[in-house]
A and B are shown apart, each in its own frame.
Chain A
Amino acid sequence: MDTSTALYLTMLIPTVAMAGNMVWKNQENLRDGITFICALLTFACVLVILCNVGNATTGPYELFEVVSGLSISFHVEPLGLMFAIIGSGLWIITHIYGVGYMRGNNEQHHARFFACFSIAIAAVMGIAFASNMFTLFVFYEILTLSTYPLVAHKGTPEAVKGARTYLSILIGTSIALLLTGVIWTFTIAGTLDFTKGGILEGKIAPTLLPVLLGLYAFGIGKAALMPFHRWLPAAMVAPTPVSALLHAVAVVKAGVFSMLKVGIYIFGIDFLASTGASEWLMWLAAYTIIAASVVAMTKDNLKARLAYSTVSQLSYITLGMALATSMGALGGGMHIAMHAMGKITLFMCAGSIYVAYHKTEISQMQGLGRIMPITFGAFLIGALSIIGLPPLGGSWPKFLLMVGAVDAGHQIIIAVLMISSLLNIAYLLPLVGRGFFRPATDSKLPKSFAEAPLLVWLPPAITATGCIILFFYAGSIQDFLAPIVENSP
């Protein structure tokens, strides 16, 4: 299969999955089976692209031109390919988990849920392979709109309110700020194509550059940079599979991925470094890292705590871009993969606890570790990876970011990363401690081993194993991503 066909198929197959869900609304096994096969096929297509292209850049493949100079077109480059591999690969696991969760938890409207889920995946593939900012923006908005029904899924007043916050911040920032920035860029540069080294050099006054960067940084609300982070905790009203795949992996990673793309291919790392335009963004990202971790410590609701943890971790990636060094950008890129694997594990564990015993607050989870050791074991591994301890994948991007910070001459960022790791320990590990070592307070809990259903505990166990495996393959990921920062200092 040639690359362009495979590329279009990665968007087409999830769309077929959506159609399948709508047609066979009431035949649940058929419906979920089709989606599963589609998830496998999508992943296979991404792998085909990987085999064909490796870490080279090919394309662009133009689908059609909308307005002269603006086209919907795609290309394959290492960063996007890595994002596509993560998105489509974790879709398979999350789908299994989602089926188990939705059935085990007696949620309503399964067909609508999986249909919107599939569209969101198609949008993620579009974002991953977009070869210009216009295409990226179109799919970015499709992703926002397709995930809105998922957040409002339960239809309770609380869910509706959360969905409203979700939508107003994401649509608001993207239209008021991002779109303004994109059109501004188009007006001054005459193109929106992602080009290595950026398209803005010499086109814009140095004083305006930080302003334009600000339009992008805040406009990409999905990157959850403070003060536009509130949508992410609000989105936690969604069923846990949504929180796991979309709000720990696909949606938020689409945000920081866009941030990296903009930094590397619109502004250009060298241009940012030479003008110092991104320095303020670096400090803001550092602030978000610390502040969100502190807020996370105050949350008793497990999903809310994880959400704030995500806000904090996302800013590592923004930080990597804002450092404007090649190591920083590489560290940011690698963190997309590492954090995805770790955070999806944590969310799936949270969902597993909810399905098995309907516990949402950390203070209620005492002694649960003894009866659900697999879930809690997976949680421990995921947490250690997020904290960044070897031998888990999460340790490498932190290392690279620190090297990047030294290259950029901002040693204080190293301190920020250190403090953040300590804070991570403080808010993630107590749950594990409570689970394993404190006696159960709830007398209704069973006394011996009683895990959640297989489909619910297996996926987090797989991804936790993934966290360990990734530690040993970090070098290959780094080599794979290397071309995106070639020719940079």
Chain B
Amino acid sequence: MSATEVHHVAKTLMDHLPILQVVIPLMSAPLIVMIGNRNLAWLIAFAASAASFVIACLLLSDVIDGSVISYHIGGWAPPLGIEYRIDALNALVLLLISGIGTIVLPYAYTSVKAEIPQRLHTLFYALYMLCLTGLLGMVATGDAFNVFVFLEISSLSTYVLVSLGANKDTRALTAAYDYLIMGTIGATFFVIGLGMLYMATGTLNMADLADRIAEQGANRTVQAAFTFIVVGMGLKAAMYPLHHWLPNAYTYAPSAVTTFLAATATKAAIYVLLRFMFSVFNPGFHFEDWTLYLIFIPFALLAMFAASFVAVFQTNLKRMLAFSSIAQIGYMLLGIAMLNATGLSASIVHLVNHGITKAALFMGAGALILYSGSAFFDNLNGLGRKMPLTGATMVAGGLSLIGVPGTAGFISKWVLVQAAFENGWWIIAVAIMLSSLLAVIYVWRMFEVLYLTAPDEGCTATDPPLPMLIPMLILAVSCIWFGFDTELTLGSAQVAADGLLAGSAGMMAH
């Protein structure tokens, strides 16, 4: 190939980045099943997810200035054809999902060997890639029905991934079943909402939907659709009190799966909520204000306090972290409900920061479990001293979870409280701070178990092998790094928040 041809190919590829983002992991899944060798399967999965990570980086660098990429699949123009639409918001979420997807894979290579029977390994990688595809697709697409399709792809594969934990603890099966029932109800509500929107407007393209809803104003059908969509996605996002599936799913799934899900699955659902509430529906509608003020705020506060309170009393590390996730989702919903640019950026930046933090913590937890055999605190005594680097990861993640200055979590909390003060909601500001004190309690319980108790006699635990250790350390360093360098996280979040607040006008910008 000559230089010009290379240039031409590169340019064509660059034009098709939005679809490549989804198609590369999608195609890798059947390839993995066909090849059937577990080492090759890992290699393919890793290559595909790394490629999608690179693509996400390229996409974000294109839209960070606030512009929008509109990609028409097969050249069919929207609203008839399916449109992929990338702006700062979903580019950032794509980056998070593909980044976590990539970094979990080396970790999974070792942890899966310990937790899942060998004959299921290729299946695991295939499902993992499907799940990744689903999440990326949900986020990348600009077509409402397409969201549902990808939601189902990711959900179905997630159910199976959770159930793979059954080899260690058969309760993974009931956890997966629970999640299946709840997740299906959520998806059904979502699709009912979409059906109503289609009935009322005759279109499924998000930008088009936004226009037509704005034209006809708030009628019953639109309101009902809104309700169904919020409840459906709320379920997938584990919005309090629809969180019932989450603690068991996170506790009993294999470590690698928990890490991946905790950092990405609920985050993708939050993204869809944001997209529908701000870009498709208009927050100017009264029913939407009311939903935010009367439903989101009380439930967000409940999540922050109740779930953190429950976390304090957990005896199982993974379960404690799972309840903490529910509380942290409360912060994101609270940021959305503030309905100002700062609040939205807080919500978006927390989505990323918490994703990284929880991934680090669950990875660390997985490494501890690899040696202790269980996630109960009683079995983790003094392991922080025996496994210094794993312990350090838990410390970095734990501090970021509390929101100690110099960690990623601090930035989110700072922006969120600032947003509360901008609205004059000082009670909410105080509530945010008080709820983080609960985080101090449960995180410190973990630290005391890891460092201040004596390890069992003859404990031979050491830090896990490099494939597990390196991803863990990268995430731990990121927890600190994003506490100081906020250009990528908060910078993109602010651009994204401005885009969202522009409402459907933001959707139209080219």
- List residues of A whose CB falls within 8 A of some B CB: 64, 66-67, 72, 137-138, 141-142, 145, 149, 152, 155, 160, 164, 167-168, 171-172, 175-177, 179-180, 183-184, 186-188
Contacts and interface: CB of A to CB of B under 8 A. Distances in A.
A183 to B, nearest CB: 5
B224 interface: no
B452 A142 contact: no
B484 A183 contact: no
A66 B448 CA distance: 31
Q: Which 4 A/B pairs are nearest by Cβ-Cβ distance?
A: A187-B421, A138-B405, A176-B433, A183-B417
Contact of A172 (B405, B440, B448, B451): B440
Contact of A160 (B406, B417, B448): B448
Contact of B403 (A137, A164, A175): A175
A167 B485 CA distance: 27
B486 A66 contact: yes
Nearest to B419: A187
B169 to A, nearest CB: 31
B436 interface: yes
Nearest to A185: B421
A426 B454 CA distance: 43
A149 B447 CA distance: 11
Interface string B250-283: 0000000000000000000000000000000000
30 contacts: A66-B411, A66-B483, A66-B485, A66-B486, A67-B411, A67-B490, A137-B405, A141-B406, A142-B406, A149-B451, A152-B452, A155-B452, A164-B444, A167-B440, A167-B444, A168-B441, A171-B404, A171-B440, A172-B437, A175-B402, A175-B433, A175-B437, A176-B437, A180-B429, A180-B433, A183-B418, A184-B426, A184-B429, A186-B418, A187-B422
Interface in B79-113: none
B491 to A, nearest CB: 9
A142 B399 CA distance: 11
Contacts of A152: 452
A362 to B, nearest CB: 30
Contacts of B454: 155
B9 interface: no
B308 to A, nearest CB: 13
A401 B191 CA distance: 72
A141 B399 CA distance: 11
B31 interface: no
Given A175-B437, A187-B418, A141 B404 contact: yes
B505 interface: no
Interface of chain A: mostly helix, strand, loop or mixed:
helix
Contacts of A137: 405
B404 A145 contact: yes
B434 interface: yes
B313 interface: no
A134 to B, nearest CB: 8
B29 to A, nearest CB: 40
Nearest to B490: A67
B430 interface: yes
Contact of A175 (B421, B422, B436): B436
A155 B483 CA distance: 31
Given A66-B484, A67-B490, A187-B418, A175 B440 contact: yes
Nearest to B421: A187
Interface string B25-63: 000000000000000000000000000000000000000
A160 B414 CA distance: 30
B452 A72 contact: no
A67 B406 contact: no
A164 B418 CA distance: 29
Nearest to B415: A67
Given A168-B441, A175-B403, A183-B418, 18 more contacts: A64-B484, A66-B484, A66-B485, A67-B486, A138-B405, A141-B406, A142-B405, A164-B448, A168-B444, A175-B433, A175-B436, A175-B437, A176-B437, A179-B433, A180-B430, A184-B426, A187-B421, A188-B421
A160 B406 CA distance: 25
B452 A160 contact: yes
A176 B414 CA distance: 12
Contacts of B485: 64, 66
Contacts of B418: 183, 186-187
A219 to B, nearest CB: 10
B406 A138 contact: yes
Nearest to A160: B452
A188 B399 CA distance: 28
